[in-house]
Amino acid sequence: MALSWLWALPLLGLLPWGLNRAIRHGLAAPRVRETGSPEGLPWQAVVVPTRNGKQLFGWFIPAAPRAPALVVMHGWGGNAEMMLPLAAPLHQAGYTLLLMDARCHGGSDDDSFASLPRFAEDIEAGLAWLGDQSGVDASRLGIVGHSVGAGAALLAASRISAVRAVVSLAAFAHPATMMKRWLAGKRIPYWPLGAYILRYVQRVIGYRFDDIAPVRTISSIGCPVMLIHGQEDEIVPLADAEAIHAAGTPGRVQLLAVAGSHDDYGDIERSLAVVTDFLSAAFSESPAAT
C-alpha cells in the first residue's frame, strides 16, 4: 500500500505541459475579422510581409504625393476596422495611412502566439512597407497605436530612430502590472499560479517585461510622443499614462487626459484637432531635432 501512489508519477510529469497549454489558450487573443471597409476614402487592400514569413492584412489609404504617413495599429483582440474612426480625420488632415491587423488578428496570418513585441515587429514591418511606397515621404513616418498596439508603438519607436511621431491611445505602463490586474479579475491567486504564469509568458515571448514596458521604453524615444488616455478607463487606469509621461523626456512627451473609457480611445474623436496639431508640429521638426 505504501507504494500505491507510484502510478501517478507519469501524470505528474504532464502537469507543466497541461498548465502551459491552458495558459496559452487562456491568453490567446480572440480573432475578429473585418466586416466593413474605409468607405468614402481612396483605400486599397494590401498585404504586408512581416517576421516568420507571415503576411499582414492592411488598408492603405494614400493622401497627396510625398505626404507624411502613419501606421495605425489596433489593440489586443482588435482589427483595422476598429481604428476606422481615426481614418477620415487623419486622412483629411493630409496623412497617408496604413491600417493593419497584427498577426493572429483580423485577416492577417496566424503565428505561434501574439505578444506586444510581435505587435511591434508588425508595426516595424508596416513602417518599412510604407517607406517603399512611391507616394510616401519616407522621411516623415509616424505611428498611432491603441492599448497593446500603443505599447508596441512605443517599443518600435524606441528601436527605430527614423520614427518622427507617436500617438499612444490607452497604453498600459507595465505588462506585469497589467497581467496582475487580469489575474485579479479572473480571481487567480498571484502565488504560486500567477507568478508562474508571468514567468512562463516572459519565457515564451523571449523578453523580460521590464525591457518592453512602456514606462521604460518611453525614455529611449527621441521623437515627440502624445499620450491620450480616457479618464473613465477601467481596464488601464489613467495613472498608467501619468507614469509613462513622468518617465519620458521632458518637453518631448505630452499627456492628454480626455473623457471616455478604454475601447472608445478616450473619446479621441473630440480631440482630433489637438492630435493633428501635434502631428503637424512633430513632422515639421527637422529629422536632426528628432
pLDDT higher than threshold 70 for residue 72: yes
Arithmetic mean of pLDDT over the chain: 91
- Could you read off the pLDDT of 100-157 as tens digits, one per residue? 999 999 999 999 999 999 999 999 999 999 999 998 999 999 999 999 999 999 999 9
pLDDT at 221 (0 to 100): 97
Strands 163-169 and 253-258: unpaired
Mean pLDDT over 163-189 rounds to: 96
Q: Could you give all domains of the chain from N- to C-terminal order, each with its CATH number? A: 38-173+213-284 (3.40.50.1820), 175-211 (no CATH)
Higher pLDDT, 101 or 13: 101
Give the pLDDT band of residue 266 (cuts 50, 70, 90): low
Three-state SS sequence of the chain: CCCHHHHHHHHHHHHHHHHHHHHHHHHCCCCCCCCCCCCCCCCEEEEEECHHHCEEEEEEECCCCCEEEEEEECCCCCCHHHHHHHHHHHHHCCCEEEEECCCCCCCCCCCCCCCHHHHHHHHHHHHHHHHCCCCEEEEEEEEEEECHHHHHHHHHHHHCCCEEEEEEECCCCCHHHHHHHHHHHCCCCHHHHHHHHHHHHHHHHCCCHHHHCHHHHHHHCCCCEEEEEECCCCCCCHHHHHHHHHHCCCCCEEEEEECCCCCCCCCHHHHHHHHHHHHHHHHHCCCCCC
Contact 249, 221 (CB under 8 A): yes
pLDDT at 19 (0 to 100): 79
pLDDT higher than threshold 80 for residue 6: no
pLDDT at 269 (0 to 100): 74
Give the pLDDT band of residue 22 (cuts 50, 70, 90): confident
pLDDT higher than threshold 60 for residue 15: no
Lowest mean pLDDT among 20-29, 74-83, 85-94: 20-29
pLDDT at 251 (0 to 100): 92
Mean pLDDT over 162-186 rounds to: 96
Higher pLDDT, 1 or 97: 97
Give the pLDDT band of residue 9 (cuts 50, 70, 90): very low
Q: What pTM was estimated for this model as a whole?
A: 0.93
pLDDT higher than threshold 80 for residue 267: no
pLDDT higher than threshold 50 for residue 4: no
Give the pLDDT band of residue 263 (cuts 50, 70, 90): confident
pLDDT higher than threshold 90 for residue 25: no
- Could you read off the pLDDT of 180-235 as tens digits, one per residue? 999 999 998 998 889 989 999 999 999 999 999 999 999 999 999 999 999 999 99
